Amino acid sequence: MLLKPLKPVCRATDQAKQLSKPELNQIRDCDRAAHQWYRFVLSFPPHLVQTYVERFAIEPHQQLLDPFCGTGTTVVEGKKLGISSVGIEANPMAWFAGTVKLDWTPNPDALVRVANEVAMAANTIIQQFEQDARPLCTLSAESHQMLLQNSISPVPLHKTLVLLEQIKHQVHPSYARHLQLAVAKALIAAISNLHFAPEVSVGKPKLDAPVIEAWLKEVMRMTEDLQQLQALDSTPANIYRADSRQMVGVLNSNSIDAVITSPPYPNEKDYTRTTRLESVLLGFIQTKAELRLLKQGLLRSNTRNVYKADTDDQWVTKHTEIQRIANAIEERRIALGKTSGFERLYHRAVKLYFGGMAKHLADLRSILRPGAQLAYVVGDQKSYLQVMIRTGELLGDIAQGLGYELVDIDLFRTRIATATKEQMREEVVLLRWPGKTPAHPYPFSDRTL
């Protein structure tokens, strides 16, 4: 098994500095079109997709898949490169963002005109509220409970709700989705009290915010990008809202030639918190029941979406290293006297995570064409009581047990752990599907499937 950087580093003494540069995971100016409309803070960059598209020698007639699509980096970049692409994403806000970023059909001039009309109408209503001293628009009590406390102040919330209402009632559907996504981007960029560094937190309250102006700024970025994107050839691209562990029946058998993706890592990052504000305001999550249903459809990567009925851990009951790590976490928890409900689930979350990845890779086999090449961006973790989890190595081992060939493990970059300031590895696990399921296809499970 080889561990190497994507690009050679000249001197070993410079390697750590080179691999830890923040720009390795940032969007380059030349790649911003469509990608900048909305993305996760920790999304991998478009140039990483370009690297593996070139390395895999993917051709236009082939099909590229991202089964953990997020906000669509791989699929959008595939479309820009002229490669037929498809994604799978269970988070409704991320799915919405990705599908809008794939839609380059709106006329840019018309989009600007419609946005200006909406802005004028929203400003008029906001001024009327102020003149009449009317109560501010707000969310229902149940919807408000879904938000991170103080994530948005009352006045900016009021203005945002007025804006969204005008988009809903005045705008044709061919433009409304783009204008709604611009609201989501403006929320996290300029309107809310949220802070990303990279974890989501609540910063100093903004008693007021230039809601309409911030939104129009994002719309203008979209229109500038659309002028560039509409010059490209139209290439098929789609994102399905589905569970990456249950892809059979969603995607056609024997249809995928390459996979470039970044699944969640096994840590305590709750991705539904990252998108909670815009998910609630755009209407994707409004009740605790809807939030629970969303979490149940996600890979178990943190204790906030672990449930008693979960069974993905059965896929790795015979994987000795994963069982060792889980036992080490539980033993350390007991030794440290950690007794909270979430801490008691740490060891189980690890087993559910890797079991879910095994289920995903098992499902994926029937969808891949023989010779398909795969790249999984994952990171080492010590989130659970400082017990090291070599995510890339474990994922590669699971894949081999399911019949995949482990081609390589590239070192993409290093990052500094928030708690310990330790340099952690972020890697790209490279796999190949030979086209034949092994005689014993579930080597890490006692479960009969």
- Whether residue 15 is contained in a domain is answered as yes
- Whether residue 50 is contained in a domain is answered as no
Does the global pTM surpass 0.85? yes
Question: Residues 308, 209: one domain?
Answer: no
Total domains, the chain: 2
**380 within 8 A of 340, measured Cβ to Cβ:** no
**402 within 8 A of 358, measured Cβ to Cβ:** yes
Question: Residues 309, 425: one domain?
Answer: yes
Q: Which amino acid is at 411?
A: L
pLDDT score recorded for residue 351: 98
Residues lower than pLDDT 50 in the chain: 1-17, 445-449
What is the rounded end-to-end Cα distance, in angstroms, of the chain?
A: 31
- Whether residue 44 is contained in a domain is answered as no
pLDDT score recorded for residue 17: 45
Which among 183, 213, 229 is the end of a domain? Answer: 229
Cα 366 to Cα 173, 213, 247, 449, distances in angstroms = 36, 49, 10, 15
Question: Residues 128, 209: one domain?
Answer: yes
- Whether residue 55 is contained in a domain is answered as no
pLDDT score recorded for residue 41: 74
The Cβ of residue 249 has, within 10 Å, a number of other Cβ atoms equal to 9
- Whether residue 380 is contained in a domain is answered as yes
Question: Residues 332, 449: one domain?
Answer: yes
Which among 229, 255, 284 is the end of a domain? Answer: 229
Sorted by sequence, the CB contacts under 8 Å of residue 373 that are 6+ apart come out as 56, 257, 258, 259, 407, 430, 431, 432
- Whether residue 287 is contained in a domain is answered as no
What is the span of the domain harbouring residue 408?
A: 1-26+263-267+302-449
- Whether residue 276 is contained in a domain is answered as no
pLDDT score recorded for residue 346: 97
Question: Residues 220, 306: one domain?
Answer: no
CA–CA separation, 413 vs 376, rounded Å? 14
Q: What is the largest CA-CA distance in the chain?
A: 75
Question: Residues 415, 315: one domain?
Answer: yes
The encoded tokens of residue 120 equal 């004028």
Residue recorded with tokens 């928030």: 418
pLDDT score recorded for residue 43: 83
Which among 229, 244, 278 is the end of a domain? Answer: 229
Cα 271 to Cα 240, 266, 345, 386, distances in angstroms = 18, 12, 18, 21
Question: Residues 319, 424: one domain?
Answer: yes
- Whether residue 313 is contained in a domain is answered as yes
